[in-house]
Amino acid sequence: MTFVTSEPYVGHMGLGGVGDSKGLMESELRQRHIKWIVNAKIDAVTPVATGAPETGYMIESMVSAICENIAAELAGEPAVAQATWNAICLADFGDTGAAFVALPEIPPRNVTWSKSGKWVHLAKIAFEKYFLRKVRTGSVTRVYGKYVLKLLGIAPPKARRS
């Protein structure tokens, strides 16, 4: 297997790195005998059907801000809600994983760290189960964000009024 990315190095993640994400990702890929190619593009790809996963913590924050602003506009109030612009990633490697946090996404950051271990794999499974249940039931509650992210010292995504 070969990982191909347009980014300048493995672990860049479009964020300029998060903690020692370069070293962590290179080590994780090496342990799994996965080669990587950086600064590259792909000309063609064998399409694979995928679902529509939740694309991230930051996107949820953006959508929350949009909804609050629409509600404010409908109520004749100013639309002032803003997204949190935080990035959180759980990368699952099958039996372990790596977590990356950048608060906010763009430097200068207040928080930046990356860690790996079995706990990330378990957290990813828990999130997937939570998310699929949320989709099936049409729930808009943020239980995972409210409790699990709080355990990591990260405030759950919510729109902020300026």
Q: Is the pLDDT of residue 147 over 60?
A: yes
pLDDT in tens, 105-129: 777 888 888 899 999 999 889 888 8
Q: What is the CATH number of domain 2-161?
A: 3.50.50.100
Predicted local distance difference test score (pLDDT) of residue 53: 39
pLDDT at 37 over 80: yes
Task: Report whether pLDDT(27) > 70.
Answer: yes
d(CA 142, CA 150): 12
User: Could you give the 3-state DSSP secondary structure of residue 160?
Assistant: strand
Query: What's the gap between Cα 96 and its chain centre?
Result: 17
Q: Among the listed ranges 45-49, 59-63, 92-96, 109-113, which one has the minimum average pLDDT value?
A: 45-49
* Domain definitions of the chain by residue range: 2-161
Q: Which residue has the higher pLDDT, 57 or 162?
A: 57
What is the pLDDT, as a whole number, of residue 52?
A: 38
| DSSP state string for 101-116 | EEESSSSS-SEEEEEE
Higher per-residue pLDDT: 54 or 56: 56
**In this model, does residue 162 exceed pLDDT 70?**
no
Phi/psi of residue 143, nearest 5 degrees? -60, -50
CB 36 within 8 A of CB 4: yes
Handedness of CA 6, 8, 14, 17 (dihedral sign): positive
The average confidence (pLDDT) of the chain is 83
Is the model's pLDDT at 54 over the cut of 60?
A: no
Per the model's pLDDT, the better-predicted residue between 134 and 122 turns out to be 122
